[in-house]
Amino acid sequence: MKQLLTSFLLVISLAVVAQQKERIYNPNDEYVYTREMSGGGRLQTNGFSLFLEYGFIKNIFKTRIIQLEYQYFMDYKLKKIKSVPIGKDSGTDYFYGLQNKFHTIRINYGVRRMIAEKARRNGVRLSFMAMGGFSLGLMVPYYLDLKYQPDGIGGAYEIRSERYSEANRDKFLDKQSINEASPIGKGFTKIEPVPGVHGKLGLNFDFGTRDEFVKEIEAGVMADIFYKPLPLLINDQNRFYKFGAYISFQFGKRW
């Protein structure tokens, strides 16, 4: 992922620098648009996100941005395993070793500053973007349906939906004791909020052939820092921060 982002940024940057000489703006040039609104999605090395963005266009070189974003964190090392349920021909997939799922809602403020303007025809506007703000993490317990034999060996199994704890650690990590994953909404009554801060830096590429439409790709790096460690995986070092690289796609309109 990181090699892909590096190659992408290098190729696009060279193309934009080559076309920069074709069209040069004076800082005092007027720009007919003062606002923009767009939305899109972001693929990240630690998950994916959706966002809405509102921009205040100061001049052709500078836009101030307010952004609302939702992210679902995903550890790509985590694998799904097929369960062995009682009374069913086939099992269902569940995440082995997962303790909590993690979602984040962010409110960010930042600036996008132009580096190179579009050529007269079929050009790309290159801009630098910096943004930071408040990050509200939402830790959702992951529940599994575990098998118990209250009457000892040979007795009927009892199925209990449980979240991870030190008391049931052996059961939670024993694949033969896992009947299946509990219903997806099971943990939402036990959500734990974890506040923190967020920041991102990136390069923005505007491919729109008409300035009134926003059609952009952005690539960069981002970070979240929370006030306490996040126990997401059972057999893993729990950290209070999350770093990642990203590439985003967004569309919208200026007026």
Q: Give the pLDDT of residue 18.
A: 45
Count Cβ neighbours within 10 Å for each residue of 24-53 and write b for 16 or more, e otherwise. eeeeeeeeeeeebebebebebbbbebebeb
In the predicted model, is pLDDT for residue 244 greater than 80?
yes
Domain boundaries, the chain: 2-254
Lowest mean pLDDT among 10-19, 181-190, 195-204: 10-19
CB neighbour class for 204 (10 Å; exposed up to 12, middle 13-18, buried from 19): buried
Provide the token pair at 231: 């126990």
Whether 241 contacts 228, CB under 8 Å: no
In the predicted model, is pLDDT for residue 108 greater than 50?
yes
In the predicted model, is pLDDT for residue 97 greater than 70?
yes
pTM value is 0.82
* Interval 117-172: pLDDT, tens: 876 556 788 999 999 999 999 999 999 999 988 765 666 788 999 999 999 999 99
Tokens 């909020």 belong to residue:
193
Task: Tell which CATH architecture fits domain 2-254.
Answer: Beta Barrel (2.40)
Q: What is the mean pLDDT of residues 45-65?
A: 94
* Interval 218-231: pLDDT, tens: 999 999 999 999 99
Geometric angle at alpha carbon 228, from 226 and 229, rounded to 5°: 100
Q: Give the pLDDT of residue 90.
A: 74
pLDDT band for position 85 (cuts 50, 70, 90): confident
pLDDT band for position 253 (cuts 50, 70, 90): very high
pLDDT band for position 238 (cuts 50, 70, 90): confident
Q: Give the pLDDT of residue 151.
A: 66
* Interval 155-164: pLDDT, tens: 678 899 999 9
Pairing between strand 178-181 and 192-206? unpaired
Q: Give the pLDDT of residue 16.
A: 47
